[in-house]
Amino acid sequence: MERLWTIMRKELYHIWRDPRTLGLILALPAMLLILLGFGISGERTSIPMAVADFSKTDASRRYIEYFTASSDFKLAYDVLSEDEILALIDHSDVDVGLIIPEDFGRKLDTNQATSVQIFINGSSDPTDVQTIQLKLSAISQVVSQNILMEQFSLTPAASALHNPIDAFTKTLYNPNGDQKLFMIPGLIPIILQVQALLLSTLAIVKEREQGTMEQLIVTPIKSWELMLGKIIPYLLVSLFNLFALLWLSDLFFGVKIAGSIWELVGLSLVFIIGSLGMGVLISNLAQSQMQAIYLAVFVVLIPAIILSGLLFPRGDMPLVTYWYSELLPVTHYLEITRGIIMRGIPAGMLWWGSTFPLLVLSVIYFVASVLAFRKRI
């Protein structure tokens, strides 16, 4: 027991005399619990909805109010055409599109059957899509029942009554609710993030612990050259793995790239550079390999899995959690992979929401890694 106590006391002393590591061990788990706890949302509310009301009557406005009366849906866009609705769904700005025909009000006033067209963004989690379908169906049935009750009060002959509104629902991109088609384009960014970050996180701190950092400092090499020299080998490895993951996704799961593979590869290159830059930045800031791994896992990797939109929708997250996820390149890259692989849309359609932020963050993290190293020279 005396020998066991000696070893324990020695390890406790090592932890206590390193206040930075001690602070990370004590503070990060609590901070992560609070951040992720708020970020994990339950059932979706305030689902964004676009409406093209060609009727512009009291009946059509009342029909829309049935959907927006509760917290389930919110009217995000009032548009003028079906093409605008499809474009908003392509951009992931809305999850539901409703088209009300021009003769909607007239037919209801004359006790004739009418119909509406509903589009659903099927690129979301199939479970969420199914929930949205059930909510839309329930609301449509409530509207029809209320109209039938009004008609029955005026026309007691039940045989003359019929379903007043037929809601035709069309689910885009993943009509069969294939879970693999949703998850595989999301898993690829996470796998590349984990690999790129862990490979590059130890790049500088390993040199420091091995005592070779001084040799690098006295050489005429510039900071950005050193950072690129550290990043490029891992970049090549990550690109190889990207092609391997895309090939395996098609081979084993039947997930094909619906859009441009070259746009996907180009933006993947940007994402990998940003992830490697983030890893080198952490490596520059850490004093030991333990600190580097701890920062990489708790500050980036776990939030990337929980907050990026892989498992939970980001729309209902609190502002602090939402903006934290915005600072992670994987959040924007995940939207791009799902957009190109699943929906087949060009990257330009995701410019402001995903492509541009990914470019900016990748540049920022690489420049920050260079500046962090320069401060240590």
Query: 221-230, pLDDT tens digit by residue?
Result: 777 777 777 7
Instruction: Give 131's contacts (C-beta < 8 A, 6+ positions apart).
Output: 43, 44
Residue 116 sits at φ, ψ, to 5 deg, of: -130, 155
Instruction: Give 72's contacts (C-beta < 8 A, 6+ positions apart).
Output: 45, 46, 47, 135
The answer on pLDDT for 82 being more than 80 is yes
Residue that is written with structure tokens 């599109």 in the block: 97
For 18, the 3-state DSSP assignment is: coil
Contact 193, 304 (CB under 8 A): yes
CA 362 to chain centre: 17
More confident residue, 234 or 42: 234
**Ranked by mean pLDDT, which of 164-168, 190-194, 205-209 comes out on top?**
190-194
More confident residue, 151 or 338: 338
DSSP 249-277: HHHHH-----S-HHHHHHHHHHHHHHHHH
* pTM of structure: 0.84
The answer on pLDDT for 337 being more than 50 is yes
End-to-end CA separation in angstroms for the chain: 47
Instruction: Give 2's contacts (C-beta < 8 A, 6+ positions apart).
Output: none
For 121, the 3-state DSSP assignment is: strand
The answer on pLDDT for 158 being more than 80 is no
What integer pLDDT is reported at residue 228 of this predicted model? Answer: 78
For residue 327, the one-letter residue type is L
What average pLDDT does this structure show over 363-370? Answer: 87
The mean of the pLDDT values for the chain is: 83
Alpha helices in the chain (DSSP H): 2-16, 19-39, 58-68, 82-90, 104-109, 126-154, 179-210, 213-218, 223-253, 261-285, 289-295, 302-307, 319-326, 329-337, 356-374
What's the CA dihedral at 272, 273, 277, 278 to 10 degrees? Answer: -30
What integer pLDDT is reported at residue 311 of this predicted model? Answer: 82
What integer pLDDT is reported at residue 148 of this predicted model? Answer: 80
What average pLDDT does this structure show over 360-369? Answer: 90
Integer-rounded Cα Rg, in Å, for the chain is 27
What integer pLDDT is reported at residue 159 of this predicted model? Answer: 45
Domains by residue range for the chain, with CATH: 47-172 (3.40.1710.10), 179-374 (no CATH)
The answer on pLDDT for 209 being more than 90 is no
Reported as a single tens digit per residue, the pLDDT across 267-309 is: 999 999 999 889 888 888 887 788 888 888 888 898 898 888 8
What integer pLDDT is reported at residue 10 of this predicted model? Answer: 62
Contact 76, 93 (CB under 8 A): yes
More confident residue, 69 or 332: 332
For 4, the 3-state DSSP assignment is: helix
The answer on pLDDT for 46 being more than 60 is yes
More confident residue, 46 or 247: 247
The answer on pLDDT for 375 being more than 60 is no
What average pLDDT does this structure show over 203-221? Answer: 69
b/e per residue 276-300 (b: at least 16 CB within 10 A): bbbbbbbbbbbeeeebbbbbbbbbb
User: In the 8-state DSSP scheme, what is residue 315?
Assistant: T
What integer pLDDT is reported at residue 338 of this predicted model? Answer: 92
Question: Which of 123-132, 190-199, 221-230, 258-267 shows the lowest per-residue confidence on average (mean pLDDT)?
Answer: 221-230
The answer on pLDDT for 196 being more than 50 is yes
More confident residue, 269 or 201: 269
What integer pLDDT is reported at residue 12 of this predicted model? Answer: 63
What average pLDDT does this structure show over 247-255? Answer: 91
Task: At 145, list the tokens.
Answer: 């029942």
Question: Which of 67-71, 244-248, 271-275 shows the lowest per-residue confidence on average (mean pLDDT)?
Answer: 67-71
More confident residue, 170 or 28: 170
CA 266 to chain centre: 19
The answer on pLDDT for 377 being more than 50 is no
Among residues 100, 124, 105, 112, which one has the least CA distance to residue 50?
100
Sign of CA dihedral 214, 217, 223, 225: negative
More confident residue, 112 or 224: 112
What integer pLDDT is reported at residue 244 of this predicted model? Answer: 94
What integer pLDDT is reported at residue 149 of this predicted model? Answer: 81
What average pLDDT does this structure show over 330-347? Answer: 91
For residue 100, the one-letter residue type is I
What integer pLDDT is reported at residue 327 of this predicted model? Answer: 93
Strands of the 165-172 sheet, one edge to the other: 73-78, 47-53, 96-100, 114-121, 165-172
